[in-house]
Structure 1
Amino acid sequence: MDAQQRTIAEECTAASEKDRMSFPQVLGALAGAGFEGYFADLRRTVKIYYLPDGESIEVATGGETPPVAEAFDSAAVGGAVRWAQAAEADYCYKGFCERIMAAGCMGYLVSLPGRRAVYFGRTGEMHVEHFPNR
């Protein structure tokens, strides 16, 4: 992994958290830098960005988070995703994370080649969101 890729991963994390980049913009930047996806660990407050050759970089995310609810509510996770996709004026990434954590989501995996995000709970329940067609 080169220095530019590290910088892009760090910038994508910071820009998401400060609502300076949308999810599609983050995906474009990561794809342009050669990443194939990332894992957001909401309990540990880190994101791990992966390259196709197996290299990765871990980037700390912002501060404290609420606890993850015990029960996984796939419909509520889907509702939070729809809120994010609608790009409503009240949307913020922190609020999105709070909503999915309240719905029992402990993390999510984003796959660029698979064009999907997989949200999962403590006991392995999942909610899969395919990226909208371009």
Structure 2
Amino acid sequence: MDPHLAAVAAACLKAAEEDTMPFPHIVGTLMQAGFESYAVDFRRATATYFLPDGESLEVPMHALDTPVAPAFDPAPLRAAIREAQLQVPGYSYKGFCAKAAQAGCAGYIVSFSGRRALYIGRTAETHVELFPA
């Protein structure tokens, strides 16, 4: 992958983990760079960024202290998503990831063109979250 694009992806992940850039700005930055989507895998502690031509880049992310729960529970996952959307006091991306894992979310895929995120449980249960208008 082009070194500039790899640097953009790595910088966006770092900004998320350090809570220095909000999600909408991360999405805008990745889209402007030409990415089409990305996928986060909590069990492998990776984020994979995809270009429209199929090229991808896997970037290591922070490992969760909490294992992914065996049962998928969309209610606490939706609550964690709302906290992220509203940037409630005390919100952090790492805290969001921990809450998602506790809710049984093994990872998620963000589609920029589809304007949605798909959250996936260990048993392939899903929750679709459309981007806010």
Question: Under TM normalisation by the shorter chain, which class is it?
Answer: over 0.9
| In 2, Cα distance between equivalents of 1:76 and 1:124 | 17
> Counterpart in 1 of 2:78?
78
Structure 2 counterpart of 1:10: 10
Q: Distance in 2 between matches of 1:81 and 1:97?
A: 10
Task: Give the letter for the 1:48 counterpart.
Answer: T
In structure 2, distance between residues paired with 1:16 and 1:47: 12
Task: Report the secondary structure of 2:5's partner residue.
Answer: helix
Letter in 1 for 2:43: R
Structure 2 portions without partners, runs of 5+? none
Cα root mean square deviation, aligned: 0.8
**CA displacement 1:2-31 (0-9 Å, x = unmatched):** 111010000001110000111101100000
Q: Which amino acid aligns with 2:7?
A: T
Note closer, same or farther for the CA distance 1:73–1:95 as it changes in structure 2 (3 Å cut).
same
Query: Are residue 89 (structure 1) and residue 82 (structure 2) matched?
Result: no
- Paired position in structure 2 for 1:33: 33
**Structure 2 Cα separation of the partners of residues 126 and 104 of structure 1:** 10
Counterpart-to-counterpart distance in 2, 1:94 and 1:62? 8
How many percent of aligned residue pairs carry the same amino acid? Answer: 50
Q: TM-score, normalised by structure 1?
A: 0.97
Q: Give the letter for the 1:42 counterpart.
A: F
Structure 1 segments of 4+ aligned residues over 2 angstroms from their partners? none
Taking structure 2 as the reference length, the TM-score comes to 0.97
Equivalent residue of 1:118, what SS?
Answer: strand
Query: Equivalent residue for 1:99?
Result: 99
